[in-house]
Amino acid sequence: MAQRTPSAPSRPQRGSSASGARLWTWLMLPGTLWMTGFLIASLVLVATLALGTTDPLGNPRFGLNFSNITALADPAYRIVLLRSLGYALIACVICLLVAYPVSYAIALHGGRFKNLLIAAIVVPFFANYLVRMYGWSVVLSDGGPLLRTLRAVGLADGNTKILQSGVGVVAGLVYGFVVFMIIPLYAALERMDLSLIEAGRDLYGGPLRTFLFVTLPATRQGAAAGAVLVFLPAMGDFVSAQLMGGPDQIMIGNLIQDKFFEGQNWPLGSALTMLMMAVLFIGMLGYLRRTRKDEAEATQ
Partner 1 sequence: MSPEAPPPPTRRAVLAGAAATLGLTLAGCGFLPEDRNAFGDPDKPIDVKADGDLVYFNWADFVSPAVFDGFEKEYRVKVIQSNFDSMEGMAAKLNAGNRYDIIFPTAKWAQRLAAGRRLRRIDHSRLTHADAVFGRYHYFADPWYDRHSAHTVPFTMYKTGIGWRKDRIGDDLAGSWNDLWNDRARGKVFVLDDRDEVLAMAALKLGLGIGTSERHDLDRITATLQDLRPRLRGFSSDSYNNLLNGNAVMTQAWSGDMAAMLGQAKDPSVLGFEVAREGAPINSDCYAIPANARHPGTAMLFIDYMLRPANVRKNIEYIGYPMPVGGSEDVYASIVKPFPQCLVTPDDLKADLFFRNTSPKGEQARDTAWTHVKAG
Find the binding residues for partner 1 in span 264-283 (CB under 8 A). Answer: 264-265, 268
**Cα-based torsion angle of the residue sequence 40, 41, 43, 47 in order, rounded to the nearest 10 degrees:** 130
**Alpha-carbon separation of residue 237 from 67, 116, 177 (angstroms):** 26, 30, 10
Rank residues 113 and 261 by Cβ distance to partner 1 and give the closer one. Answer: 261
- Which segment (11-19, 95-103, 189-197, 282-290) binds partner 1 by CB under 8 A? 11-19
Q: Which of 198, 202, 248, 297 binds partner 1 (CB under 8 A)?
A: 248
Task: For the chain, give the number of residues.
Answer: 300
- The region, left, alpha or beta by phi > 0 then psi within -120 to 50, assigned to residue 40 is alpha
Q: Which of 58, 86, 207, 217 binds partner 1 (CB under 8 A)?
A: 58
Q: Check binding of 157 to partner 1 (CB under 8 A).
A: no
Rank residues 187 and 250 by Cβ distance to partner 1 and give the closer one. Answer: 250
Name the nearest CA neighbour of 269 among 37, 82, 73, 60. Answer: 60
Cα-Cα-Cα-Cα dihedral sign, residues 147, 91, 265, 76: positive
- Which segment (52-60, 112-120, 213-221, 283-291) binds partner 1 by CB under 8 A? 52-60
Q: How far is the CB of 12 from partner 1 (least distance, A)?
A: 4
Which residues, in sequence order, are CB contacts of 196 under 8 Å at separation 6+? 214, 215, 218
**Alpha-carbon separation of residue 153 from 65, 88, 148, 149, 156 (angstroms):** 59, 32, 9, 6, 8
Rank residues 63 and 283 by Cβ distance to partner 1 and give the closer one. Answer: 63
Q: Check binding of 299 to partner 1 (CB under 8 A).
A: no
The count of chain residues that interact with partner 1, using the rule CB under 8 A, is 63
Q: Which of 51, 69, 71, 232 binds partner 1 (CB under 8 A)?
A: 71
Rank residues 229 and 250 by Cβ distance to partner 1 and give the closer one. Answer: 250
